[in-house]
Structure 1
Amino acid sequence: MAALPASTRFGYSLGSFTTGAFGTVPGLLLLPYLTDTMAVPGAVAGVIVLVPKAWDVVFNPFAGRLSDASLARHGSRRRFLLFGGIAIAVLFAAIFAHPGFGGTAADASYVVVMFLLCATAYGIFQVPYNALPAELTQDAHERTRLTSWRIGLLAIAILISGGGAPAITEGIGGVAGYRAMGVVIGLVILIGTIGVTLGIRRAPVGALRPTTPGWRDLLATMREWRAFRWLLGVYFIQALGLGTLLAGVNYAARYVFGNADLQTVLFVCFVGPALITMPLWPRIGARWGKLWGFRFACVAFGVGTAFLCAALVLPLGVSLVFVALAGVGYAGIQVFPLAILPDLITMEEERTGATRAGVAAGVWTASETLGLALGPGLFGLLLTIGGYVSTVDASAAQPSSAVTAILLGFSLLPGILVAAGILFLRRPVLEGVS
């Protein structure tokens, strides 16, 4: 089967600037934005981060059905990408606008509403975006290459947004820093949206199959689709681990490594190796198979985060080496699930004769969103257990128990959750994955 043109791979991958910015920055900064500019308690802030994204668990499968129907009717999912992405950009800036209503409850409620609307817009964009690889090509190895391009640009997007957003907030400082950051990252999201919409305008869409008639049929499919459920379980657990790690970067820089400016350094050390080693993972998948490549990535991430448990006594340079090792594993655990998913979708569509890409992507995105949202909530709970003191002064001292909770939430817990995915990557369950 012919390889996709480089322009299609690149055009599709530009959407990673939208997904990378929205998937990264709230996980990094929303929790400290709430705890350290509005004095919201850690556990409450964790719930605020969770609730809007938990809504996506309900909404995203519905968005998937709408996307499938639009594909059958118009032959393209591009309108969903365009409208959803523009809405994300505007609402993202609104989240961090901090209107200052004069009370913690009112300000926090404003964040909840804006984040809820933004998460809904993200579902409208992300669901069709995840569905596209199953339609752009039927070749399993070409899907891995397409996904590696996507994750490569995702790494760049994360470097720009995840490294730039803390630099803007710290450089300007206070509420004004968060406001400026919201506008800048909103522009990054907008660029990604326009890029992918234009980039796939001449791309193939694959076979146009009828959509599934009703929800009962879809639920029956999910009950019978064992391989998808197992892969979904792995992805959810690992998204939870990554969400916990991202939520801890800001706190770890300040209280474990002793310098708030190290946020950007930590992020570059984590994502930079992921970008450099990205071409390696498709080769491993082609030689040993996607499942073994996925397992190797889980091990690399787990080993790196395990050694980070000693960050309080290790020299900074040594800790950064282990951050980089975790970043190498991070690249693989991003590439392989997204490369396996379209293989499973194709097999299921051939079995049923109906479109499954949008609905499967909706459930998939809901699981990812919930995991990434629960991560900060879990980290916020650890802060509360550790006795973290919420304040409007981000430089306030914290008890040693809070520092220990931050360290474990940044290292050991994410490593355990990601490595646990190995237990679910069983060949008999995922039969047919090459």
Structure 2
Amino acid sequence: MSTQPPSSPPRAPATPPLSSRTVRGYALGSVATGAFGTVPGLLLLPYLTDRLGIAAGLAGVIVFLPKAWDVVLNPIAGRISDHTVSPTGPRRPFLLRGGVGLAVGFALLFAGPSAPRGVASAWVVVAFLACATAYAFFQVPYVAMPAEMTSDYRERTRLMTWRVAILALAILVSGASAPAIRDAVGAAQGYRVMGLVVACLILVGVLGAWRGTAPAPVTAVRPSAGGLAAQLRIVAGARDFRLLLGTFVLQALATGAMLAGVDYVARHVLGKASASTLLFVCFVGPALLVTPLWQRVGAARGKRWGYAASSVLLAAGAIALVPARSLPVVAVYLALAVVGVGYAGAQMFPLAMLPDVAAVDAVRSGQNRIGVFTGVWTAGETLGLALGPGLYALVLALGGYVSSTDSSAAQPDSAVTAIGLGFSLVPAVLVGLSLLLLARYRLDESAVRAAIVELPTRNEEG
């Protein structure tokens, strides 16, 4: 009777590949996450400072507070979805309910009064809080699904490749069209029309993901025992998860700051408000081309190596933007395209690594803590993306940025300098710090294969 050599890690039996319908259907959920993750980060701060006339520091707080609520809510949403029993699958009901609520909330976000400022500010806070709540109950179950859909290390990379490709397309379409719609309609009604259009886009992604994942298999694991606090302590004790999460949060903070700066850089550094669309295309567009290439890099060199390489490109492109005020416009666009190439891999690889961490824990413990893992993960991502515009607003405030109600206020030289540095040097430093954490991550393919054994799966009829 032959035995496997001790030096070779045990290999889990092969699992059937996911159907094309399931992979593409799951990826459609990124239309919703991409649109909501992008447009508020891109336009909500300018809406507050240059449409409602709210001071930059206060505007940063308004943007941050509803997102901070998600940091508390996301682990709770994950815990609830872990214990949900549904004939359509434990996560899918949340896709529909949370997603529809998100679309409605987003339509209301930019539809409030423009005066008086106190009422306008309160409207934004309440509407954004509603959006954040609905988003938590959509995003957390959505991110949890890959760890339950397949136990195959490389199949998860395939799943995330499609997701990130659709995510990049959604970010590109929503991020490029949102300021264009605003500018075409005019500031008075442009934000309202833009909010309604993006809400419809979110709804398309929600319904596509809900229908497309109906035939997805679901791994059968026992619901987790103990309370939420106990589960959070267990998750916090997972070393590789902490390192991966810390890396991703720092990079979310960096990209959140860059997104918040696009509109300001276009108007005050390049001198053309219309340049915001092209800047955004340069930032996100490369992902449509290079995501499949990053998948090949991951297959050849491993996910961690690919994540590190893409992060280095992200930081290098940001550093090249430091002298943006004195660079030719074409050079600014090219440097931002380098950022975009790195950004594509820095999105795909951690999303493909997270299910590995969560699934290994589920196999070792026999308990379903995947929702808690993803709840903490999305809480961290939300915190980073929320702090990014807040950090950028702080840089603007330190630079003496002058808020107005018609975007026409002249800015001092210190404010223009702050606009450029918040868009370049600050993100580059944050990405550099994240690489220190990633260097300590150890859960590569051999480690995953050594830990995972085939789990029973059951197909959920939806």
* Category of TM-score, reference length = shorter chain: over 0.9
Task: Show structure 1 runs of 4+ deviating over 6 A.
Answer: none
Letter in 1 for 2:21: S
CA–CA distance in structure 2, aligned partners of residues 416 and 228 of structure 1: 22
Which residue is 1:136 aligned to?
A: 149
Letter in 1 for 2:398: I
Q: Secondary structure at the match of 2:219?
A: coil
Give the TM-score normalised by structure 2: 0.91
Give the TM-score normalised by structure 1: 0.97
Letter in 1 for 2:64: L
Which residue is 1:24 aligned to?
A: 38
Q: Secondary structure at the match of 1:99?
A: coil
Q: Secondary structure at the match of 2:33?
A: helix
Displacement of 1:72 in angstroms is 7.4
Which residue is 1:250 aligned to?
A: 263
CA–CA distance in structure 2, aligned partners of residues 334 and 419 of structure 1: 16
Q: Does 2:196 align with 1:192?
A: no
Displacement of 1:202 in angstroms is 0.8
8 Å CA contact 1:17, 1:157 repeated in 2: yes
Instruction: Indicate which of 110, 121, 139 corresponds to 1:96.
Output: 110
CA–CA distance in structure 2, aligned partners of residues 396 and 168 of structure 1: 22
Which residue is 1:81 aligned to?
A: 95
CA–CA distance in structure 1, aligned partners of residues 187 and 296 of structure 2: 45
Displacement of 1:171 in angstroms is 1.1
Q: Secondary structure at the match of 1:205?
A: strand
Which residue is 1:348 aligned to?
A: 361
Q: Does 2:409 align with 1:396?
A: yes
8 Å CA contact 2:79, 2:228 repeated in 1: no
CA–CA distance in structure 1, aligned partners of residues 325 and 50 of structure 2: 23
Which residue is 1:111 aligned to?
A: 124
Pairing 1:7-22 to 2, within 5 Å after superposition: 7-22=21-36
CA–CA distance in structure 2, aligned partners of residues 287 and 211 of structure 1: 35
CA–CA distance in structure 1, aligned partners of residues 17 and 87 of structure 2: 27
Which residue is 2:187 aligned to?
A: 174
Which residue is 1:62 aligned to?
A: 76
8 Å CA contact 1:301, 1:419 repeated in 2: no
Which residue is 1:48 aligned to?
A: 62
CA–CA distance in structure 1, aligned partners of residues 182 and 338 of structure 2: 27
Pairing 1:163-242 to 2, within 5 Å after superposition: 163-242=176-255
8 Å CA contact 2:321, 2:335 repeated in 1: yes
Which residue is 2:335 aligned to?
A: 322
Q: Deviations over 1:396-416 (max 9, x none)?
A: 221110000000111111122
Q: Deviations over 1:173-201 (max 9, x none)?
A: 11300000000000000000000000001
Q: Deviations over 1:147-192 (max 9, x none)?
A: 0100000010011100000101111111300000000000000000
8 Å CA contact 1:244, 1:409 repeated in 2: yes
- Aligned-residue identity in percent: 54
CA–CA distance in structure 2, aligned partners of residues 24 and 85 of structure 1: 16
Q: Secondary structure at the match of 2:368?
A: coil
Letter in 1 for 2:20: A
Letter in 1 for 2:237: E
Displacement of 1:427 in angstroms is 4.9
Displacement of 1:220 in angstroms is 3.1
Unpaired stretches in structure 1, ≥5 consecutive residues: none
Displacement of 1:320 in angstroms is 0.7
Which residue is 2:457 aligned to?
A: none
Distance 1:14 1:428, change over 3 A: closer
CA–CA distance in structure 2, aligned partners of residues 419 and 123 of structure 1: 29
Q: Deviations over 1:361-407 (max 9, x none)?
A: 11101100011000111111111110100001213221110000000
Which residue is 1:413 aligned to?
A: 426
8 Å CA contact 2:158, 2:295 repeated in 1: yes
Unpaired stretches in structure 2, ≥5 consecutive residues: 1-13, 450-462
Displacement of 1:430 in angstroms is 3.6
CA–CA distance in structure 1, aligned partners of residues 90 and 229 of structure 2: 25
Displacement of 1:304 in angstroms is 0.6
Q: Does 2:323 align with 1:310?
A: yes
CA–CA distance in structure 2, aligned partners of residues 383 and 31 of structure 1: 11
CA–CA distance in structure 2, aligned partners of residues 277 and 400 of structure 1: 37
Report the number of matched residues: 433
Which residue is 1:161 aligned to?
A: 174
Displacement of 1:313 in angstroms is 1.1
CA–CA distance in structure 2, aligned partners of residues 143 and 270 of structure 1: 25
Distance 1:77 1:98, change over 3 A: same
Who wins on radius of gyration, i.e. which is larger? 2
Q: Secondary structure at the match of 1:4?
A: coil
